[in-house]
C-alpha cells in the first residue's frame, strides 16, 4: 500500500467531488510499489490525478493504463521528464489555487 501525501490528498479534495474524492484516495492508497514500477509513489499517484482533472472516467482510464505501463501514466500526467519534482511541487502547492483566485 502506498500512503498518500497530505498535499496530494488535498489536491484530490480540490479536484473531485467529496464522495468521489474518497474513492480516488482509496484506489490510490491501494497501489503497491510494483504497480508504480518502483518509481516514487507520489509521482505516479499524482500523474493519475493530474491527468484525471477531477473526472471519474479519466481516473479509471488511468488506473487501467497503470496496469499496462506506468511510464505512459507519467507521460499522460505530465510527470515523465527530469523536471518532474518541480512540476509536482507546482501542481500540488496549496497556495497556488489561492493566488489565482
Average pLDDT, the chain: 91
**pTM of the predicted protein model:** 0.89
Check residue 3 and give its pLDDT. 87
Check residue 22 and give its pLDDT. 96
Name the 3-class secondary structure at 55. Answer: coil
* Helices and strands of the chain, counted as H and E runs: 7, 0
For 10, phi then psi, to 5°, come to: -65, -40
Q: How many residues does the chain have?
A: 101
Residues 43/82/93/74 CA torsion (nearest 10 deg):
-40
Tell how far CA 94 is from the center of its chain: 15
Q: Give the pLDDT band (50/70/90) at residue 80.
A: very high
Amino acid at each position: 500500500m502506498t500512503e498518500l501525501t497530505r498535499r496530494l490528498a488535498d489536491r484530490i479534495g480540490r479536484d473531485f467531488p467529496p464522495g468521489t474524492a474518497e474513492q480516488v484516495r482509496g484506489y490510490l492508497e491501494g497501489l503497491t510499489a510494483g504497480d508504480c514500477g518502483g518509481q516514487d509513489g507520489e509521482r505516479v499517484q499524482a500523474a493519475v490525478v493530474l491527468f484525471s482533472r477531477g473526472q471519474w472516467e479519466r481516473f479509471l482510464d488511468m488506473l487501467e493504463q497503470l496496469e499496462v505501463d506506468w511510464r505512459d501514466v507519467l507521460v499522460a500526467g505530465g510527470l515523465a521528464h527530469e523536471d518532474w519534482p518541480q512540476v509536482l511541487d507546482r501542481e500540488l502547492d496549496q497556495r497556488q489555487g489561492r493566488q489565482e483566485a
